[in-house]
Amino acid sequence: MKKLLLSLCTLLSFSSFLSGQELLIPFEQSNGKETATYEEAIAFYQQLDDQYAQVRMVEAGISDAGKPIHLVLISREGLSSPVELGDRLFLLINNAIHPGEPCGVDASMMLARDLVRDPEMKAYLDHVVIGIIPAYNIGGMLNRGCCSRANQDGPAAYGFRGNARNYDLNRDFIKADTRNAKSFAEIFHRWLPDLFVDTHTTNGADYQADLTLIPTQQDKLQPDVAAYMQENLVPGLIEQMGNMNIPVCPYVNSVGRTPDQGIADFLDLPRYSSGYAALFQTMSFITEAHMLKAFDARVRATYVFLALLIQKANQDYERITSLVDAARRFDQEAEDFPVRWVLDKNDTTHLLFAGYEATYLESELTGGQRLFYDRSKPYKKYIPFYQHYLPTDFVSVPEAYIIPQAYTEVIAQLKRNGVLMESLNEDIRLEVEVSYMDEVKSMGRPYEGHFYHTEVNPRLDTQAIQFYAGDQVIWMDQIRNRFISHVLEPVAQDSYFRWNYFDGVLMRKEYFSPYVFEDAAVEMLGENPGLREAFEEKKATDSTFVKNPYAQLNFIYQRSPYAEPTYLRYPVARWWGKRNLPTR
Residue 428, pLDDT > 90, answer yes
Q: What is the pLDDT of residues 539-553, one digit of tens each?
A: 999 999 999 999 999
C-alpha 167/C-alpha 191 separation (Å) is 25
> Which has the closest alpha carbon to 57: 44, 66, 38, 40?
44
Residue 1, pLDDT > 70, answer no
Q: Helices (H), strands (E): how many in the chain?
A: 18, 19
C-alpha 212/C-alpha 201 separation (Å) is 9
> Which has the closest alpha carbon to 340: 381, 303, 394, 294?
394
Residue 20, pLDDT > 90, answer no
Global pTM reads 0.94
What integer pLDDT is reported at residue 5 of this predicted model? 52
Mean pLDDT of the chain: 95
Q: Where residue 580 falls among pLDDT bands split at 50, 70, 90?
A: very high
String of DSSP letters for 321-376: HHHHHHHHHHHHH-SEEEEEEEE-TT-EEEEEEEEEEEEEEE-TTTSSEEEEEEEE
Are the C-beta atoms of 289 and 330 separated by less than 8 Å? no
Residue 6, pLDDT > 90, answer no
Cα–Cα distances in angstroms (integers) from residue 84 to residues 26, 116, 124, in the given order: 34, 19, 17
Task: Give the phi and the psi of residue 251 in degrees, each rounded to 5.
Answer: -50, 135
Task: Give the phi and the psi of residue 250 in degrees, each rounded to 5.
Answer: -60, 155
Q: What is the pLDDT of residues 517-529, one digit of tens each?
A: 999 999 999 999 9
C-alpha 482/C-alpha 275 separation (Å) is 12
Residue 13, pLDDT > 80, answer no
| Dihedral in degrees, nearest 10, Cα atoms 557, 559, 562, 563 | 90
> What average pLDDT does the segment 20-32 reach?
88
What integer pLDDT is reported at residue 21 of this predicted model? 58
Residue 412, pLDDT > 90, answer yes
Q: What percent of the chain has pLDDT over 90?
A: 96
What integer pLDDT is reported at residue 541 of this predicted model? 95
Q: What residue type is 22 in one-letter code?
A: E
Q: Where residue 16 falls among pLDDT bands split at 50, 70, 90?
A: very low
Q: What is the pLDDT of residues 127-153, one digit of tens each?
A: 999 999 999 999 999 999 999 999 999
What integer pLDDT is reported at residue 448 of this predicted model? 97
Q: What is the pLDDT of residues 331-349, one digit of tens each?
A: 999 999 999 999 999 999 9
> What average pLDDT does the segment 193-215 reach?
97
